[in-house]
């Protein structure tokens, strides 16, 4: 009797569960989340898988990622997930069961593979998956691999000899630069390949066709495998659709090429769609590439020029010549060509590094100066200079660019002489805003209205002539001069060849200017010789705002805010500790 009761209870329990399940099924059709169209659900699932796939950036995952749980929510979601082949093309697991399940569920959809074999505890486990997947190379759409210095690298690379008609994105980094590559990659013809990124490896570009390529990135090619300029240009000539070109320590020195007859008669390679160009190479290589490539004026360009001992001055002269030819436009092109509104000069003491940024937007702070791409920057040049060459070379490069429309000038660590400033301000006559930050105060006596003799002597020496007349003044439209973290020297620095520049020197220069303007000084260190300054001489009969901190020998800091309109002078003295 007792057993019969247990049987009835179990039967009733089963029946009740069935009733509840039958009730839940129609109930699940009422919430909005369960009434989404199948196509929308598939798109959501794929986005979850894609975000997880790229977020992990190829790091090994030893368990199924969280997005797989969408197939366990309900019968409807599971049906949608299992019938969406694209969802299972993001390969993520190493176990044999999951590997077979992924390949089966993805059916014939294109595969996206990311694998990082570097420093794995069980390299053979990951290798088995990679080898299995590489057997389906004809289905691979995206392949991103980080390979170690071991026997596995050759095993994987040997799989790359098969044809890959769907391959669009190939990114490979190899820790072992001596790895042997197949003589013919992808049977020499990956017709859909548009992105190629290679790091620390020597893939021969001539081993397969690159006609459809839109992005080429070569990073840290082993020295013994680097191509010379002529070989690279031959390969580049086939990439007419190229949009992004990144060359970082990828090519040999171009010194020999620049002195060869081939360079003199080399036809320029047309890259009409190029939008971003980054070159980090010896100076001669940079000059050779710029001389042999023709690309749009608005291409965002970043050049890092390594120092070369031979033909140093000649190569910099060639660089200036190339920049002049590239950015100088005639009247017909002036309306459609980009306009440079800001110039940033950043000098790094000790390393002799200089960064020049020419931007189409107004830049008045240094927050983004250290970024690779400053917003709207047209050209970025990073230089490594020899001793005592900063003034001359920076001046030559800047004056080779069309800067007549520059309104903002930002200089970081400005160790420049009056001759430099005469030349720069004579070239950017429309400048409205100058900011100097982090360094010693340069000699800005050239801002004086009476400093015409030195300017004329400089023009006569350089052969550059300008408008003559008593009303001529450098930077006549200057409205704001901002000094931030600048030190005024009461004694010159003989090692840096810097004269003694006090606050009085600056005010004396500004006091003779005919135009009105504003001066702002923030966190500047003043010399003791600035005591008793007559603020009535500041910048003529105009409104002047001066905010500065003065450091006494007792390390007490005074903050003073001054307003001067030529008649009334208001003081407010607040001590800041």
Residues 279 and 286: beta-carbon distance below 8 Å: yes
Question: Looking at residue 334, what is its pLDDT?
Answer: 58
Residues 326 and 297: beta-carbon distance below 8 Å: yes
Tell me the per-residue pLDDT of 149-184, one tens digit each, with 9 for 90 and over: 666 677 777 778 888 899 999 998 887 666 666 667
Closest-CA residue to 273 (of 289, 292, 290, 293): 293
Give mean pLDDT, residues 405-411.
Answer: 93
Pairing label, strands 573-576, 557-564 = antiparallel
Local confidence band at 342 (pLDDT 50, 70, 90 cut-offs): very high
Residue ranges per structural domain of the chain: 2-30, 343-348+356-366+399-577
Give mean pLDDT, residues 191-215.
Answer: 87
Give mean pLDDT, residues 401-428.
Answer: 89
Q: What's 161's DSSP letter? A: G
Which own/partner contact pairs does 127-132 have at CB distance under 8 Å and 24+ positions apart?
127/152, 127/155, 127/156, 128/94, 128/96, 129/91, 129/93, 129/94, 129/99, 130/156, 131/155, 131/156, 131/159, 132/99, 132/103
Tell me how far apart the alpha carbons of residues 445 and 455 are, in angstroms, rounded to a whole number: 11
| Mean pLDDT, the chain, integer | 77
Tell me the per-residue pLDDT of 277-286, one tens digit each, with 9 for 90 and over: 999 999 999 9
Local confidence band at 527 (pLDDT 50, 70, 90 cut-offs): low
Tell me how far apart the alpha carbons of residues 249 and 202 are, in angstroms, rounded to a whole number: 12
- φ/ψ of residue 343, rounded to 5: -125, 125
Least confident stretch, 257-261, 378-382, 455-459, 555-559: 555-559
For residue 497, pLDDT beyond 60: no
Give mean pLDDT, residues 8-15.
Answer: 79
Closest-CA residue to 415 (of 447, 380, 450, 389): 389
Residues 236 and 266: beta-carbon distance below 8 Å: no
Pairing label, strands 269-270, 293-294 = parallel
| Two structure tokens written together for 255 | 């010194």
Tell me how far apart the alpha carbons of residues 569 and 505 are, in angstroms, rounded to a whole number: 21
Give mean pLDDT, residues 479-504.
Answer: 74
Give mean pLDDT, residues 345-361.
Answer: 83
Most confident of 202-206, 224-228, 432-436, 499-503: 432-436
Cα Rg of the chain (Å, integer): 33
Handedness of CA 176, 182, 186, 188 (dihedral sign): positive
Question: Looking at residue 561, what is its pLDDT?
Answer: 37
Give mean pLDDT, residues 204-218.
Answer: 87
Question: Looking at residue 499, what is its pLDDT?
Answer: 64
Q: Where are the alpha helices (DSSP H) in 117-163?
A: 123-134, 151-157
For residue 573, pLDDT beyond 50: no
| Two structure tokens written together for 188 | 């020499």
For residue 372, pLDDT beyond 50: yes
Residues 438 and 412: beta-carbon distance below 8 Å: yes
In sequence order, the 6+-apart residues with CB closer than 8 A to the CB of 262 are 230
Tell me the per-residue pLDDT of 16-32, one tens digit each, with 9 for 90 and over: 777 776 666 666 666 66
Give mean pLDDT, residues 343-347.
Answer: 91
Tell me how far apart the alpha carbons of residues 316 and 301 are, in angstroms, rounded to a whole number: 17
Q: Where are the alpha helices (DSSP H) in 254-388?
A: 255-258, 261-264, 283-292, 312-327, 331-334
Tell me the per-residue pLDDT of 59-80, one tens digit each, with 9 for 90 and over: 555 667 788 889 988 888 899 9
End-to-end Cα, the chain, rounded Å: 93
For residue 455, pLDDT beyond 70: no
Tell me the per-residue pLDDT of 104-132, one tens digit each, with 9 for 90 and over: 999 999 999 887 776 566 666 667 777 77
For residue 212, pLDDT beyond 70: yes
Local confidence band at 276 (pLDDT 50, 70, 90 cut-offs): very high
Give mean pLDDT, residues 506-516.
Answer: 79
Local confidence band at 207 (pLDDT 50, 70, 90 cut-offs): confident
C-alpha distances (whole Å) from 555 to each of 488, 491, 549, 561 are 16, 19, 11, 20
Residues 207 and 184: beta-carbon distance below 8 Å: yes
β-strand partners of 348: 353
Residues 184 and 205: beta-carbon distance below 8 Å: no
Local confidence band at 461 (pLDDT 50, 70, 90 cut-offs): low
Residue 228 C-alpha from the chain's centroid: 25
């Amino acid at each position: 009797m007792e057993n019969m009761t247990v049987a009835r209870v179990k039967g009733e329990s089963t029946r009740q569960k069935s009733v509840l399940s039958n009730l839940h099924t129609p109930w699940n059709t009422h919430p909005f989340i369960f009434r989404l169209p199948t196509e929308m659900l598939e798109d959501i699932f794929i986005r979850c898988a894609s975000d997880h796939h790229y977020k992990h950036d190829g790091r090994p995952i030893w368990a199924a990622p969280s997005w797989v749980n969408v197939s366990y929510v309900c019968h409807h979601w599971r049906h949608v997930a299992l019938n969406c082949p694209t969802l299972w093309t993001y390969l993520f697991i190493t176990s044999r069961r999951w590997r077979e399940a992924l390949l089966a569920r993805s059916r014939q959809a294109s595969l996206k593979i990311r694998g990082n074999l570097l420093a794995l505890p069980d390299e053979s486990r990951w290798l088995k998956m990679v080898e299995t997947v590489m057997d389906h190379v004809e289905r691979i759409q995206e392949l991103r691999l980080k390979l170690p210095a071991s026997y596995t690298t050759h095993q994987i690379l040997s799989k790359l000899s098969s044809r890959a008609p769907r391959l669009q994105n190939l990114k490979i980094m190899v820790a072992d630069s001596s790895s042997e590559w197949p003589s013919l990659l992808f049977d020499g013809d990956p017709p859909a390949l548009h992105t190629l990124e290679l790091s620390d490896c020597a893939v021969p570009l001539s081993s397969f066709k690159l006609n459809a390529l839109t992005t080429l990135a070569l990073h840290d090619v082993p020295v013994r495998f680097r191509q010379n300029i002529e070989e690279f240009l031959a390969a580049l000539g086939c990439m007419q659709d190229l949009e992004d070109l990144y060359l970082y320590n990828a090519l040999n020195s171009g010194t020999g090429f620049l002195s060869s007859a081939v360079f003199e008669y080399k036809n320029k390679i047309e890259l009409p769609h190029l939008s971003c160009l980054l070159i980090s190479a010896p100076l001669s290589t940079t000059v050779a590439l710029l001389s042999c490539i023709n690309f749009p004026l608005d291409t965002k360009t970043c050049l890092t020029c390594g120092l070369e001992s031979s033909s140093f001055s000649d190569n910099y002269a060639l660089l200036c010549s190339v920049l002049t030819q590239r950015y100088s436009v005639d009247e017909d092109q002036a309306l459609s060509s980009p306009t440079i509104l800001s110039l940033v000069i950043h000098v790094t003491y000790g390393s002799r590094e200089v960064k020049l940024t020419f931007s189409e937007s107004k830049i008045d702070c240094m927050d983004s100066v250290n970024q690779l791409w400053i917003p709207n920057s047209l050209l970025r040049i990073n230089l490594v200079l020899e001793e005592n060459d900063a003034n001359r070379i920076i001046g030559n490069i800047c004056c080779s660019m069309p800067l007549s429309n520059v309104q903002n000038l930002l200089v970081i660590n400005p160790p420049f002489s009056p001759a430099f400033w005469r030349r720069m301000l004579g070239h950017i006559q429309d400048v409205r805003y100058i900011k100097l930050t982090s360094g010693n105060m340069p000699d800005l006596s050239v801002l004086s209205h009476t400093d015409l003799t030195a300017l004329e002597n400089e023009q006569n020496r350089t052969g550059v002539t300008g408008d003559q007349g008593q009303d001529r003044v450098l930077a006549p439209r200057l409205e704001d001069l901002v000094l931030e973290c600048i030190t005024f020297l009461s004694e010159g620095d003989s090692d840096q060849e810097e004269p003694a520049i006090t606050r009085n020197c600056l005010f004396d220069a500004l006091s003779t200017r005919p135009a009105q303007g504003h001066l702002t000084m923030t966190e500047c260190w003043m010399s003791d010789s600035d005591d008793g300054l007559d603020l009535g001489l500041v910048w003529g009969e105009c409104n002047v705002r001066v905010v500065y901190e003065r450091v006494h020998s007792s390390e007490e800091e005074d903050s003073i805010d001054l307003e001067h309109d030529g008649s009334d002078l208001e003081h407010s003295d607040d001590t800041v500790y």
